[in-house]
Amino acid sequence: MPITPTYPGVYIEEIPSGVRTITGVATSIAAFIGWAPRGANDRAELILSFADYEREFGGLDSRSLLGYAVYYFFLNGGQQCYVIRLTANNADFAKVTLSDLKLKAKNSGQWANDYSITIKARPAPNANRFRVAVVYKAGTPQEATVETFENLSMNPTDSSFVASVITEDSTFIDATTSGTTQPADGTTPLTGGLDGDVLAPNDAGQFEAALVPANGKGIDFLDHVDLFNILCIPGETNTTALPAVEKYCHDHRAMLLVDSASNATFTSLQSGPATTLTGADGLNAAFYFPWLNAPDPLLGNRLRALPPCGFIAGIYARIDGTRGVWKAPAGTEASLTGAASVVVPLTDGQNGVLNPQAINCIRNFPVYGIVSWGARTLNGDDQQASEWKYVPVRRLALFLEESLYRGTQWVVFEPNDEPLWSQIRLNIGAFMQDLFRQGAFQGKTPQEAYFVKCDSETTTQNDRDHGIVNILVGFAPLKPAEFVIIKIQQIAGQLAT
């Protein structure tokens, strides 16, 4: 704060530089939605490796495409994703009642039927305390104690109250009590766990009802995630549900990777993807064809046809890390690790028919192997002539929007005048200049590559009276060469009264 001189001498005052570094957001955090045999179904779960997925959701399951998509995401370069588990209404929890202690599996599914609860009271004078152990496959050669909780009490006022300790600390079970009677020693299995109906994409609407249920569940669990950039719903081709998912991605500045139907052919796609997918929200989605044959460990590594979205999401992440979000996730660098062949081989001529209709083909070339050979959004049909025709252009714009939105939050409630505008130009300009040096834009000079404008022309007196500061950021994407304008608006200063 300014210094008020009160005595003769030298005063030192530190003057703020006005520099507020804008950090680019992550660009390849994926989200996967589907059915799994176990795992939380009340939130989006953060997964950092396939080993994480195995622990949380049970690993590969031949009844569902979800695990395979996550597996090939990490195999192809993915680093971080969220998983939303969908379950049917007739799925149930395994449980057991031991005197006044009631224990229930953390989540539904028959997986918990493999677990038992072992109770052991402590010797006198502490006989009113006991141990609870969670045992896997008790009484078999595979028996293993996976969790143990010592010195528990049935007294709700005790710091080691069994319901509080187990519910907070256990990975496998929750606990409640109906009284204070301590359970007797012994081992008792959890029973009653049911998988319920296995929800598969396009299964007469059950999957879609769980996906977009309009009750804060399903895809809406992503509302509680700080950031995701790529959404995959492996095998989902329902043209009624997908437009709502496209809109969700548009609203959240993310890309939806849409799989072709498992039985799609060149002939069936000659007229392009379904028109319901190519509307206004199609700029935040990309369509991939065909499916891929890949080894399935559950089938002795025999080949199984799998949707491409998990592979492609991994490619997005890998190329983002090595080249940047402005590089098309396609071409000879975009080789698909783990895929043995394509279900539908395509010729150059067939590729030439599908590509102009916004269908990204996956090709098998003799030298490079299986690669992603297309980078168009679902607004990329030549007839649409959209400025968001290409995936890298759209993703670069989303990256800039999210980074600048987050990086200009400090503007809110600042005095809305030239000193603020100059700070905005300084900080956003430094961010854009750094991207220019990395090769994110077209142009030999910064003036050709981007601009940042925030002054009395962008922010009129009427805007200032309403507490608004307008920031214009323009950039020249590598394809196409035109400037694409992003308008960012923050509330600054106090509203006029």
Question: Does the pLDDT value for residue 1 go beyond 80?
Answer: no
Question: Does the pLDDT value for residue 485 go beyond 90?
Answer: no
- Confidence at residue 494, expressed as pLDDT on a 0 to 100 scale: 62
159-206 pLDDT tens trace: 999 999 999 999 999 999 999 999 999 999 999 999 999 999 998 789
Terminal-to-terminal C-alpha distance of the chain: 28
267-319 pLDDT tens trace: 999 999 999 999 999 999 999 999 999 999 999 999 999 999 999 999 999 99
- Confidence at residue 482, expressed as pLDDT on a 0 to 100 scale: 37
Task: Tokens 């968001």: give the residue.
Answer: 388
Record: fold of 411-491: Dihydrodipicolinate Reductase; domain 2 (3.30.360)
- Confidence at residue 299, expressed as pLDDT on a 0 to 100 scale: 95
- Domain pair 30-88+199-393 / 95-189, same fold: no
pTM to 2 decimal places: 0.92
Assigned architecture for domain 95-189: Sandwich (2.60)
Question: Does the pLDDT value for residue 480 go beyond 50?
Answer: no
Q: What percent of the chain has pLDDT over 90?
A: 89
Extents of the domains making up the chain: 30-88+199-393, 95-189, 411-491
- Confidence at residue 214, expressed as pLDDT on a 0 to 100 scale: 77
* Rounded-to-integer distance, Cα 397 and Cα 400, Å: 5
Q: What is the CATH number of domain 30-88+199-393?
A: 3.40.50.11780
Residue 239: CA count within 13 A, CB half-sphere: 10
Across the range 127-138, mean pLDDT stands at: 96
- Confidence at residue 227, expressed as pLDDT on a 0 to 100 scale: 97
Question: Does the pLDDT value for residue 483 go beyond 80?
Answer: no
Per the prediction, the chain carries an average pLDDT of 94
pLDDT confidence tier of residue 11, bands split at 50, 70 and 90: confident
66-116 pLDDT tens trace: 999 999 999 999 999 999 999 999 999 999 999 999 999 999 999 999 999
